[in-house]
Amino acid sequence: MNHQPHQTSDDNHQPHQHPGSHDQHRVLDLDAEVFGDHLAAVLDLTGVSAAHSVVDLGAGSGAGSRLLRDRYPNAAVTCVDKDPQMLKLLREQGFAVIEADLDDGFPVLAGSSITPDPKVEAPVDLVWASSSLHHVANPARLLSGVRRALSPGGVLVVVELAALPRFLSDPREALLEQRCHAAAAAEGWNHHPNWTPVIEAAGFGVTRSEVTTIAPVTPAAREYAQQWFARFSHLAALTADDRAAVENLLARFSEDTELEPRTTRTVWAATPD
Protein backbone atom coordinates (compact mmCIF):
# COMPACT_ATOMS: atom_id res chain seq x y z
CA MET A 1 0.00 0.00 0.00
CA ASN A 2 1.05 3.57 -0.27
CA HIS A 3 1.73 5.55 2.84
CA GLN A 4 -0.16 8.49 4.09
CA PRO A 5 0.69 12.04 3.03
CA HIS A 6 3.20 12.26 5.90
CA GLN A 7 6.42 10.41 5.19
CA THR A 8 6.32 7.02 6.83
CA SER A 9 8.34 3.99 5.91
CA ASP A 10 7.40 1.16 8.17
CA ASP A 11 8.13 -1.16 5.33
CA ASN A 12 4.45 -0.99 4.63
CA HIS A 13 2.53 0.78 1.99
CA GLN A 14 -0.92 1.96 2.88
CA PRO A 15 -3.44 3.14 0.30
CA HIS A 16 -4.30 6.81 0.26
CA GLN A 17 -7.84 5.96 1.29
CA HIS A 18 -7.26 4.85 4.82
CA PRO A 19 -9.00 4.23 8.13
CA GLY A 20 -8.38 5.88 11.47
CA SER A 21 -4.96 6.11 13.00
CA HIS A 22 -5.46 3.08 15.25
CA ASP A 23 -6.31 0.88 12.25
CA GLN A 24 -3.43 2.41 10.33
CA HIS A 25 -0.94 1.46 13.02
CA ARG A 26 -2.34 -2.06 13.12
CA VAL A 27 -1.94 -2.48 9.36
CA LEU A 28 1.65 -1.27 9.50
CA ASP A 29 2.46 -3.74 12.25
CA LEU A 30 0.69 -6.57 10.43
CA ASP A 31 2.84 -6.03 7.37
CA ALA A 32 5.98 -6.26 9.47
CA GLU A 33 4.70 -9.36 11.26
CA VAL A 34 3.63 -11.18 8.10
CA PHE A 35 6.56 -10.19 5.88
CA GLY A 36 9.28 -9.64 8.48
CA ASP A 37 11.49 -12.34 6.97
CA HIS A 38 11.17 -10.53 3.67
CA LEU A 39 12.51 -7.34 5.18
CA ALA A 40 15.41 -9.24 6.73
CA ALA A 41 16.22 -10.53 3.24
CA VAL A 42 16.21 -6.94 1.99
CA LEU A 43 18.81 -6.03 4.61
CA ASP A 44 20.90 -9.02 3.54
CA LEU A 45 21.23 -7.36 0.11
CA THR A 46 22.73 -4.19 1.55
CA GLY A 47 25.98 -5.80 2.65
CA VAL A 48 25.83 -3.86 5.93
CA SER A 49 26.87 -6.42 8.53
CA ALA A 50 27.43 -3.90 11.32
CA ALA A 51 26.43 -0.30 11.89
CA HIS A 52 26.99 2.27 14.60
CA SER A 53 24.49 4.82 13.35
CA VAL A 54 21.24 4.21 11.43
CA VAL A 55 18.64 6.72 10.27
CA ASP A 56 15.11 5.59 9.33
CA LEU A 57 13.56 8.20 7.03
CA GLY A 58 9.79 8.20 7.42
CA ALA A 59 9.78 5.77 10.32
CA GLY A 60 6.01 5.70 10.81
CA SER A 61 4.84 3.49 13.66
CA GLY A 62 8.28 1.89 14.01
CA ALA A 63 7.86 -1.52 12.39
CA GLY A 64 10.92 -1.05 10.19
CA SER A 65 12.78 0.73 12.96
CA ARG A 66 12.32 -2.29 15.21
CA LEU A 67 13.77 -4.50 12.49
CA LEU A 68 16.77 -2.19 12.20
CA ARG A 69 17.26 -2.14 15.97
CA ASP A 70 17.13 -5.94 16.14
CA ARG A 71 19.49 -6.30 13.19
CA TYR A 72 22.02 -3.78 14.53
CA PRO A 73 21.71 -3.98 18.33
CA ASN A 74 24.79 -1.83 18.93
CA ALA A 75 23.66 0.96 16.62
CA ALA A 76 22.00 4.24 17.49
CA VAL A 77 18.76 4.16 15.47
CA THR A 78 17.26 7.58 14.85
CA CYS A 79 13.72 7.79 13.49
CA VAL A 80 12.59 10.69 11.31
CA ASP A 81 8.94 11.53 10.76
CA LYS A 82 6.70 14.58 10.85
CA ASP A 83 3.43 13.06 12.05
CA PRO A 84 2.84 13.76 15.77
CA GLN A 85 1.04 10.45 16.37
CA MET A 86 3.83 8.47 14.75
CA LEU A 87 6.47 10.37 16.71
CA LYS A 88 4.62 9.60 19.93
CA LEU A 89 4.55 5.88 19.08
CA LEU A 90 8.25 5.91 18.27
CA ARG A 91 9.15 7.57 21.54
CA GLU A 92 7.04 5.04 23.44
CA GLN A 93 9.16 2.30 21.85
CA GLY A 94 12.35 3.92 23.08
CA PHE A 95 13.54 5.40 19.80
CA ALA A 96 15.33 8.69 19.42
CA VAL A 97 13.21 10.77 17.07
CA ILE A 98 13.64 13.82 14.90
CA GLU A 99 10.55 15.72 13.82
CA ALA A 100 11.25 16.80 10.26
CA ASP A 101 9.59 17.17 6.88
CA LEU A 102 11.59 15.27 4.27
CA ASP A 103 10.44 17.80 1.68
CA ASP A 104 12.91 20.15 3.39
CA GLY A 105 15.82 17.76 2.79
CA PHE A 106 17.86 15.50 5.03
CA PRO A 107 17.36 16.52 8.66
CA VAL A 108 19.97 17.99 10.96
CA LEU A 109 21.29 15.17 13.16
CA ALA A 110 23.27 17.27 15.63
CA GLY A 111 21.82 16.80 19.09
CA SER A 112 20.23 13.45 18.21
CA SER A 113 21.11 10.01 19.55
CA ILE A 114 23.79 9.71 16.88
CA THR A 115 25.64 12.77 18.14
CA PRO A 116 24.50 14.37 21.40
CA ASP A 117 26.77 17.34 20.74
CA PRO A 118 24.50 20.00 19.17
CA LYS A 119 27.45 21.34 17.16
CA VAL A 120 28.56 18.07 15.60
CA GLU A 121 27.15 16.23 12.60
CA ALA A 122 28.26 12.59 12.93
CA PRO A 123 28.46 10.38 9.84
CA VAL A 124 25.74 7.77 9.31
CA ASP A 125 26.43 4.14 8.39
CA LEU A 126 22.97 3.26 7.05
CA VAL A 127 20.08 5.40 5.81
CA TRP A 128 16.85 3.43 5.38
CA ALA A 129 14.01 4.83 3.24
CA SER A 130 11.28 2.24 2.82
CA SER A 131 8.20 3.42 0.93
CA SER A 132 8.89 7.00 1.91
CA LEU A 133 10.94 8.47 -0.94
CA HIS A 134 7.99 8.57 -3.35
CA HIS A 135 6.22 11.00 -1.00
CA VAL A 136 9.07 13.53 -1.10
CA ALA A 137 8.51 16.61 -3.24
CA ASN A 138 12.22 17.07 -4.01
CA PRO A 139 13.98 13.67 -3.85
CA ALA A 140 17.18 15.08 -5.36
CA ARG A 141 17.63 17.51 -2.47
CA LEU A 142 16.97 14.80 0.11
CA LEU A 143 19.37 12.38 -1.57
CA SER A 144 22.11 15.00 -1.77
CA GLY A 145 21.76 15.47 1.97
CA VAL A 146 21.92 11.73 2.53
CA ARG A 147 25.13 11.55 0.52
CA ARG A 148 26.74 14.24 2.67
CA ALA A 149 25.62 12.51 5.88
CA LEU A 150 26.91 9.04 5.05
CA SER A 151 30.18 7.81 6.47
CA PRO A 152 32.85 6.37 4.16
CA GLY A 153 31.40 3.02 3.13
CA GLY A 154 27.94 4.07 4.31
CA VAL A 155 24.88 2.76 2.48
CA LEU A 156 21.55 4.24 1.44
CA VAL A 157 18.74 1.69 1.08
CA VAL A 158 15.56 2.66 -0.77
CA VAL A 159 12.73 0.12 -0.75
CA GLU A 160 9.45 0.16 -2.66
CA LEU A 161 6.77 -2.42 -3.32
CA ALA A 162 7.27 -3.82 -6.81
CA ALA A 163 3.56 -4.63 -6.73
CA LEU A 164 0.85 -4.83 -4.10
CA PRO A 165 1.05 -7.99 -1.98
CA ARG A 166 -1.06 -10.94 -3.06
CA PHE A 167 -2.95 -13.27 -0.79
CA LEU A 168 -5.47 -15.47 -2.61
CA SER A 169 -4.51 -18.83 -4.07
CA ASP A 170 -7.86 -20.01 -5.47
CA PRO A 171 -7.65 -19.31 -9.26
CA ARG A 172 -11.01 -17.52 -9.50
CA GLU A 173 -10.38 -15.46 -6.39
CA ALA A 174 -6.86 -14.67 -7.59
CA LEU A 175 -8.34 -13.15 -10.74
CA LEU A 176 -10.58 -10.98 -8.58
CA GLU A 177 -7.53 -9.88 -6.61
CA GLN A 178 -5.75 -9.05 -9.86
CA ARG A 179 -8.64 -6.81 -10.90
CA CYS A 180 -8.54 -5.13 -7.49
CA HIS A 181 -4.87 -4.39 -8.03
CA ALA A 182 -5.64 -2.91 -11.45
CA ALA A 183 -8.32 -0.69 -9.91
CA ALA A 184 -5.90 0.36 -7.17
CA ALA A 185 -3.23 1.21 -9.76
CA ALA A 186 -5.78 3.33 -11.62
CA GLU A 187 -6.20 5.38 -8.44
CA GLY A 188 -2.45 5.81 -7.97
CA TRP A 189 -1.79 3.26 -5.22
CA ASN A 190 1.87 2.28 -4.93
CA HIS A 191 2.93 4.73 -7.63
CA HIS A 192 6.66 5.36 -7.69
CA PRO A 193 9.36 5.84 -10.32
CA ASN A 194 12.43 3.80 -11.06
CA TRP A 195 14.76 5.44 -8.58
CA THR A 196 18.01 4.33 -10.25
CA PRO A 197 18.65 7.47 -12.37
CA VAL A 198 17.54 9.79 -9.56
CA ILE A 199 19.88 8.17 -7.05
CA GLU A 200 22.76 8.08 -9.55
CA ALA A 201 22.27 11.78 -10.31
CA ALA A 202 22.73 12.51 -6.60
CA GLY A 203 26.23 11.00 -6.73
CA PHE A 204 25.68 7.36 -5.84
CA GLY A 205 26.55 4.04 -7.36
CA VAL A 206 23.38 1.93 -7.30
CA THR A 207 22.52 -1.76 -7.30
CA ARG A 208 18.86 -2.57 -8.00
CA SER A 209 17.41 -5.91 -6.89
CA GLU A 210 14.06 -7.54 -6.28
CA VAL A 211 13.18 -9.80 -3.36
CA THR A 212 10.10 -12.04 -3.37
CA THR A 213 8.81 -13.80 -0.29
CA ILE A 214 5.99 -16.27 0.29
CA ALA A 215 4.87 -15.98 3.90
CA PRO A 216 3.26 -18.71 6.01
CA VAL A 217 -0.48 -18.62 6.54
CA THR A 218 -0.96 -17.33 10.06
CA PRO A 219 -3.77 -15.51 11.88
CA ALA A 220 -1.87 -12.28 11.25
CA ALA A 221 -1.69 -13.05 7.52
CA ARG A 222 -5.45 -13.64 7.43
CA GLU A 223 -6.10 -10.39 9.25
CA TYR A 224 -3.76 -8.54 6.92
CA ALA A 225 -5.52 -9.97 3.86
CA GLN A 226 -8.86 -8.85 5.26
CA GLN A 227 -7.48 -5.35 5.80
CA TRP A 228 -6.44 -5.15 2.17
CA PHE A 229 -9.74 -6.35 0.79
CA ALA A 230 -11.68 -4.03 3.08
CA ARG A 231 -9.79 -1.19 1.41
CA PHE A 232 -10.29 -2.63 -2.06
CA SER A 233 -14.05 -2.57 -1.50
CA HIS A 234 -13.93 1.24 -1.50
CA LEU A 235 -12.10 1.57 -4.83
CA ALA A 236 -14.07 3.78 -7.20
CA ALA A 237 -12.54 1.99 -10.20
CA LEU A 238 -14.03 -1.39 -9.23
CA THR A 239 -17.01 -2.60 -11.22
CA ALA A 240 -20.23 -3.17 -9.32
CA ASP A 241 -19.85 -6.93 -9.80
CA ASP A 242 -16.29 -6.94 -8.47
CA ARG A 243 -17.25 -4.77 -5.51
CA ALA A 244 -20.01 -7.23 -4.66
CA ALA A 245 -17.55 -10.12 -5.03
CA VAL A 246 -15.08 -8.43 -2.66
CA GLU A 247 -17.81 -7.78 -0.11
CA ASN A 248 -18.93 -11.40 -0.40
CA LEU A 249 -15.35 -12.57 0.10
CA LEU A 250 -15.05 -10.45 3.22
CA ALA A 251 -18.36 -11.74 4.58
CA ARG A 252 -17.27 -15.35 4.30
CA PHE A 253 -13.58 -14.83 5.06
CA SER A 254 -12.55 -17.59 7.43
CA GLU A 255 -9.88 -20.13 8.20
CA ASP A 256 -11.07 -22.04 5.14
CA THR A 257 -10.16 -19.23 2.75
CA GLU A 258 -7.15 -20.42 0.74
CA LEU A 259 -4.22 -18.05 1.14
CA GLU A 260 -0.68 -17.80 -0.17
CA PRO A 261 0.68 -14.46 1.11
CA ARG A 262 3.45 -13.20 -1.12
CA THR A 263 5.13 -9.92 -1.85
CA THR A 264 7.92 -8.51 -3.98
CA ARG A 265 9.95 -5.46 -3.06
CA THR A 266 12.38 -3.51 -5.19
CA VAL A 267 15.58 -2.56 -3.38
CA TRP A 268 18.08 0.12 -4.34
CA ALA A 269 21.33 -0.20 -2.37
CA ALA A 270 23.49 2.85 -3.00
CA THR A 271 26.93 4.02 -1.93
CA PRO A 272 28.50 7.44 -2.63
CA ASP A 273 30.70 7.51 -5.71
Specify the CATH class of 21-163+190-215+264-272 in words: alpha beta
pLDDT for 84-109, tens place per residue?
999 999 999 999 999 999 999 999 88
pLDDT in tens, 151-195: 999 999 999 999 999 999 999 999 999 999 999 999 989 889 999
Average pLDDT over residues 192-204: 96
Residue 124: band (very low, low, confident or very high) from pLDDT cuts 50, 70, 90 = very high
pLDDT exceeds cutoff 50 at 12: no
Q: What local confidence, expressed as pLDDT, does residue 115 receive?
A: 57
Q: 41 falls in which pLDDT band (50, 70, 90)?
A: confident
* H, E, C per residue of 165-195: CEEECCHHHHHHHHHHHHHHHHCCCCCCCCC
Q: State pTM to two decimals.
A: 0.86
Q: How confident is the model at residue 11 (pLDDT cuts 50, 70, 90)?
A: very low
CA atoms of 33 and 63, how far apart (whole Å): 9
Which of 208, 204, 182, 213 shows the shortest CA–CA distance to 194? Answer: 208
Write down how long the chain is: 273
- Strands, DSSP E only, in 75-192? 76-81, 96-99, 124-130, 150-161, 166-168
What is the percent of the chain with per-residue pLDDT over 90, rounded to a whole number? 69
* Cα separation, 118 vs 126, whole angstroms: 21
CA angle, 244 then 3 then 213, to 5°: 80
91 contacts: CB under 8 Å, gap ≥ 6: 97
pLDDT recorded at residue 46: 86
Map out the domains of the chain as residue ranges.
Answer: 21-163+190-215+264-272
Q: Which of 239, 262, 45 is nearest to 158 (CA)?
A: 45
